[in-house]
């Protein structure tokens, strides 16, 4: 009897339909028309299109609520009792936290009480939607495939629009900040691409070299210091968490060379020589150098809007006696919008926002949960490749605000709280996967669904 070679088997799988691949991967009833698939596309696409449809972004919350009600009413397998209990508990806890703060009225005076109530309600609804998705609809393989496809498609559109704008001189879905046409696409600003570009780099390093080229082009066109910092901070951390012993040693060797060279460059380079360059990436390097100089000199030289704004938020926390308790859920939005209408001072990172809203204790709890989530996530290298960049970006950037922070909360509830369940594909014995570029091998999650090219 003639056997089939591995190449023939892969070719057969490659011709399978998307629905068949999803079922084979254990996605169950999550077909293209299923609620789980719809919920996943809803979460991912609304984040990736905030630049062109921000006014409709809250459709995510309503859509997830409707899908949740439908799943529970139909009693499908994707709405098991543990998931329903988790979603209900999350809603009760969020409502209790917001209610306690609003009843105590610990917050400062700028703005009306009604505005604080509305923002607290948005806080509950926004993060309850994340918990609802995690409890009822999250499927690891489905999430990875949907995110990869949506992010790649959004990046294709952004790169095409940016290149067309550069060639024609007419701005099409680009940012015109800092005197240059920079990658923006369907996102709100170039720095918003930081976690997306970094996640695509990590996914490309695992399996798709061509995607690495596309991500590199996007990184150059974005010309954002935040994108550079997130990439530089995430890639080594990812390989230290998920890589083999040889890869960890390689990371240490590379970093032992790169870090001293980078420090020397920062100490000797003059930001002005780069800032006024007509080359957008060089200008981005100049802004990065200026920002680092501002931090080193404690604001006496250079320019760093985020650092200055963070100092302003910390000063407000101390002045209003909020270091211990905080002002309450999403109180920072109303406070700084009323106190600083120009936007000169506002939280530019997740931990800064949490400091104002929940005090130093909230920041400490957030740090513990993020560390625990990342540590447990290391056994799921594909999910870590997607979510770790959002964790890193949230520490230095606030682009997309709560919609970007949602992916941090998703990682926390799935892994720090233990809501994530291993998929059947992750537990199947399919043998080693071949990758275009050698990548981490720790963990049981496959690089793709069966037949996914």
Q: What is the DSSP string of 98-127?
A: HHHHHHHT-S-SSS-HHHHHHHHHHHHHHH
Domain limits at 151? Answer: 23-268+304-424
Sign of the dihedral through C-alpha 201, 206, 209, 210: negative
Q: What is the mean pLDDT of residues 86-106?
A: 86
Across the chain, what does the average pLDDT equal? 78
262 within domain boundaries: yes
* Residues comprising the chain, all counted: 453
> What confidence tier does 428 reach under pLDDT thresholds 50, 70, 90?
very low
Res 356: pLDDT = 93
Q: What is the mean pLDDT of residues 279-301?
A: 73
Res 39: pLDDT = 85
Q: What is the mean pLDDT of residues 349-366?
A: 93
Stretch among 60-74, 222-236, 300-314 having the lowest mean pLDDT: 60-74
288 within domain boundaries: no
Q: Which residue has the tokens 């980078």?
A: 262
398 within domain boundaries: yes
On the question of pLDDT at 415 being above 70, the answer is yes
298 within domain boundaries: no
**What total number of domains does the chain contain?**
1
75 within domain boundaries: yes
Query: In the 8-state DSSP scheme, what is residue 380?
Result: -
Res 324: pLDDT = 87
133 within domain boundaries: yes
124 within domain boundaries: yes
Res 80: pLDDT = 65
Candidates 434, 423, 435; CA nearest to 140 is 423
Q: What is the mean pLDDT of residues 432-441?
A: 35
453 within domain boundaries: no
What is the per-residue pLDDT across 145-200, written as a single tens digit (0 to 9) for each?
A: 999 999 999 999 999 999 999 898 888 888 887 777 888 888 988 999 999 999 99
- 394-431 burial code (b ≥16 CB/10 A, e <16): bbbbbbbbbbbbbbbbbbbbbbbbebbeebebbeeeee
More confident residue, 452 or 345: 345
> What confidence tier does 303 reach under pLDDT thresholds 50, 70, 90?
confident
pTM above 0.85, yes or no: no
Candidates 187, 142, 203, 200; CA nearest to 47 is 187
Most confidently predicted of 40-54, 312-326, 346-360: 346-360
Stretch among 255-264, 316-325, 343-352, 422-431 having the lowest mean pLDDT: 422-431
CA gyration radius, the chain: 23
User: 10 Å Cβ neighbour count for 230?
Assistant: 29
Res 394: pLDDT = 93
On the question of pLDDT at 384 being above 60, the answer is yes
Stretch among 1-10, 187-196, 376-385, 396-405 having the lowest mean pLDDT: 1-10
């Amino acid at each position: 009897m003639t056997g089939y070679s591995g190449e023939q088997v892969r070719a057969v799988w490659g011709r399978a339909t998307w629905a068949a691949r999803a079922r084979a991967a254990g996605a169950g009833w999550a077909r293209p028309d299923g609620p789980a698939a719809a919920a996943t596309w809803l979460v991912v696409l609304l984040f990736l299109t905030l630049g062109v449809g921000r006014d409709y972004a809250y459709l995510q919350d309503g859509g997830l609520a409707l899908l949740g009600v439908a799943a529970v009413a139909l009693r499908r397998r994707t709405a098991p009792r543990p998931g329903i209990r988790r979603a209900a508990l999350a809603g009760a806890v969020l409502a209790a936290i917001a209610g306690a703060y609003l009843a105590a009225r610990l917050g400062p005076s700028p703005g009306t009480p009604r505005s604080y109530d509305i923002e607290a309600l948005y806080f509950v609804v926004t993060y309850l939607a994340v918990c609802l998705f995690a409890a009822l609809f999250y499927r690891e393989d489905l999430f990875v495939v949907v995110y990869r496809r949506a992010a790649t498609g959004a990046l294709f559109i952004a790169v095409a629009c940016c290149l067309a704008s550069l060639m024609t001189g007419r701005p099409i879905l680009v940012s015109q900040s800092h005197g240059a046409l920079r990658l923006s696409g369907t996102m709100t600003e170039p720095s918003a691409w930081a976690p997306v570009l970094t996640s695509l780099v990590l996914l490309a390093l695992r399996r798709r070299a061509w995607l690495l080229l596309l991500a590199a082009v996007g990184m150059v066109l974005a010309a954002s210091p935040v994108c550079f910092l997130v990439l530089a901070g995430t890639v080594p951390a990812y390989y230290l968490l998920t890589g083999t012993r040889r890869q960890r040693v390689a990371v240490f060797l590379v970093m032992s060379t790169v870090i001293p060279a980078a420090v020397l460059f920062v100490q000797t380079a003059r930001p002005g020589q780069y800032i006024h360059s007509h080359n957008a990436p060089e200008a981005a390097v100049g802004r990065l150098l200026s920002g680092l100089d501002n931090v080193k000199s404690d604001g006496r030289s250079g320019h760093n809007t985020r650092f200055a704004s963070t100092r302003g938020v910390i000063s407000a926390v101390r002045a209003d006696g909020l270091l211990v308790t905080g002002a309450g859920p999403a109180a920072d939005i109303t406070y700084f919008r009323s106190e600083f209408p120009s936007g000169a001072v506002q939280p530019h990172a997740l931990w800064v926002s949490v400091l104002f809203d929940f005090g130093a204790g909230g920041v400490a709890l957030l740090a513990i949960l993020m560390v625990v989530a990342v540590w447990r996530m290391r056994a799921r290298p594909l999910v870590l490749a997607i979510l770790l960049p959002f964790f890193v970006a949230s520490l230095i950037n606030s682009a997309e605000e709560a919609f970007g922070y949602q992916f941090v909360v998703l990682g926390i509830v799935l892994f720090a709280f233990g809501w994530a369940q291993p998929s059947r594909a992750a537990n199947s014995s399919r043998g080693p996967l071949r990758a275009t570029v050698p990548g981490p091998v720790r963990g049981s999650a496959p690089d793709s669904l069966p037949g996914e090219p």
